[in-house]
Each structure stands twice: as structure tokens, then as C-alpha cells.
Amino acid sequence: MFLKRFFAIVLFVVCCAAADDYHFVNSIPFSRLSFLTTDRLGNAYVIVGNQLLQFDKNGKAVANFSKNNFGELRSVDASNPMKLMLFYPDFAQLVILNTKLAEQSIIHLRASEINQPIVTCNSENGGYWVYDNDDDQLKKLDMNLQIQYQSGNLTQMLSYKVQPRFLLEEDGFVYMSDPENGIFVFDLFGTYYKLLPFKGLKTFQVIDQNILYVRENKLLRYDSKTAIEQEVLLPAHDSILNARIEAKELYLLTSDSLSFYSF
């Protein structure tokens, strides 16, 4: 409860901040970043080519990891910084790393009869969420990799094909983005709850049921409790691709750099 209250206060502060309230810390030039995420310890993780790079909140390189024989590294879930989850869809595998990016285990999703995983994420209660394109279902695997919950066939339910790009569990809900349709929201039993009409999103962040996402070079906040959307002011940058907030740190990914700020 204290942690949620703390992040809610931080989010309120950053939403009320002016652009000059941010203090520049560091900037790292990049031109081929395909993914950015952060953890609650202030670390930033980026995928460059097929390599995972880790930076601390000051923009200092900390560690790296690569596993080129597993195909494409599509995403990283850092919601639990002690248990980073890397997703390799070509071979339907998850790789679990510790805080130093040392490999701890490999999870073969096809052993759980999940043949075409598209997006995955950690579950706060243990286990993993996976969207299986083979039967159009969101599935929850327990720690024994048995299917615990599943949504039912969403194509049959919605009368159109869902093509998810990002998945996360936060604040008692599971959020799954489909750029063509919006953000699908499920409860912790995998039951479809509602669709939020935010199209075109490849990634987003959720803090205390506030959805943070970048659109047209702006960071926007949608409060799920009040259905109010507002802009979060940021330092001036061109071509903002992603922005994340952790504690009192701001991370900005543009087309040519990753910048670190405090506030």
C-alpha cells in the first residue's frame, strides 16, 4: 500500500511539473533502439539489435546480455527487477535473468502447449501471462507452467482478430495493447473486462491505474478511475518515441538518444 501511495504522489508531482522542473542527468546516443523499459530500482533496459543493455538511473552502463541462437529478442519485462523476463518468440522461449543479467532459467512455452506466443509478461502473483495466437487466448501459467486461467477465444468473442504488441500486469489488471483496436483490459482470472480506445500504441506504462503513453511527441496520462486525460509536460525533445517514470526519475527515448532526468 505504501509503495502504491508513493508512486501516486510522484505521478501527481510530475503531472504538475513544468518543463524546467526536470534536471538533466545524462544522454546516450542511440540510433537503433527497438525497446525501452525500466524497473522500480531506477534501472533502464534497452534492446539494441538482439542485445539487452542495462543502465542505472544516472545513465551509467551496468551490464549486458545476449543470446543470439534464440532468434529475435522482442521484449523485456522488468516489473520484478529480481526476475527479469526476456521473450524470444521465434522459439517460444522465456529467459529469466537476475539483477546482474545472469541467466537463471529458460522456459519453453511449447512444453505448456503454447505454440504461437505473441506477447508475454510476469504476473505479480507468480507465473506468467502469454497471448497464444494459435487459439487467440490470453493464458496464465502458474509456477509449474501449467495453464491456470485462460480468456476464451477472443476472435470468436469480439468477431475480429486481435494482434497484440504489448502486455503487462499492474494494479490487479492485465493490459494488452493492439495498435489497431486499443488496450484490452482483463482481470486476474483472464476474463475480458473492457477495451480502452487508445490505438496505435506499441507500449505504455501503468501507475496506480493511470495509463501513460506517448502520442505525437507528447506524454499523456489517462486516469482509468475518472476517464480524464491530460498532458504531462516534458523537457523539449524532437521525435519522442517513449517516456517512462520511476520514482523521481524520467527516461526519454527519442529517435537518436536515451536521456535521463530527475525531478
Confidence at residue 34, expressed as pLDDT on a 0 to 100 scale: 75
**Total domains in the fold of the chain:** 1
Mean pLDDT by 10 residues, the chain (263 residues): 50 60 95 89 95 97 95 96 97 97 97 96 96 98 97 97 97 96 97 95 94 96 94 92 95 95 95
Task: Provide the domain limits for residue 151.
Answer: 2-262
C-alpha cell at 8: 501516486
Rounded-to-integer distance, Cα 1 and Cα 207, Å = 13
Confidence at residue 2, expressed as pLDDT on a 0 to 100 scale: 41
Confidence at residue 68, expressed as pLDDT on a 0 to 100 scale: 87
CA distance readout (Å), 144 to 42, 107, 117, 148, 189: 30, 10, 18, 10, 17
Rounded-to-integer distance, Cα 123 and Cα 102, Å = 21
What pLDDT, in 10s, does the model give residues 199-234?
999 899 999 999 999 999 999 999 998 999 999 999
Confidence at residue 113, expressed as pLDDT on a 0 to 100 scale: 95
Confidence at residue 5, expressed as pLDDT on a 0 to 100 scale: 46
Query: Which CATH number do you get for residue 224?
Result: 2.120.10.30
Rounded-to-integer distance, Cα 258 and Cα 38, Å = 12
- Choose among 227, 193, 205: nearest CA to 184: 193
